[in-house]
Amino acid sequence: MTDPFQQFAVWFAQAQAAELNDPGACALATVEEGADGIPQPDVRIVLMRSFDARGFVFHTNYLSEKGQQIGGIPRAAMAFHWKSLRKQVRLGGPVERISAAESDAYFARRPRANQISAWASLQSQPLPARADYEARLGEMEARFPGEVPRPENWGGFRLVPHWIEYWEDREGRQHHRMRWDFTGNDWVSGLLYP
């Protein structure tokens, strides 16, 4: 392979064929400055919705915890683990918002219920009772009887990797690890001890 994105495309195609649910599911780690001034890591599972040589795209409410963390410190890491394939991919680097046009195009393809939820959910904010959220869902259904536009506070982020590591499980803990690093011009690769 001449670059790490070709390798990801091969492994992701294998994951799409082998994984029953959400082969694009990955752990996303962000960081925020803690009250004591010490950076605090945070991690959750998100769905990577697309990738190309520019990076890996996921979508969220920009006012969510992860959205605010990325707004404050625009760097993150991802980890994909496909247990059935015995493979893992880790990557990290800066994060940027995708264009409004890209976010609009993706939002338009989402199921209507997901679109309504994007309007109704105050993602990551305290919810006094489930009935409050369900009432907001009803309000948004009434507000948007036809096409649902993308909320301005919702859209995509692209993690632009500066490094990517490929890990394959091998017997006797003799795993195969290859790391790619971006030099600013090219990707260079090398092996890592298991």
Contact 139, 148 (CB under 8 A): no
CA 154, CA 106: separation in Å to the nearest integer? 11
Beta carbons within 8 Å of 108's beta carbon, 6+ residues apart: 150
Given the residues 49, 54, 130, 173, the one annotated as active site: 173
Cα–Cα distance between 86 and 6 in angstroms, integer? 19
Closest listed residue to residue 42, CA positions, set 65, 24, 59: 65
Q: Is 173 a catalytic residue?
A: yes
For 4, the token pair is 């790490």
> What is the set of active-site residues?
173
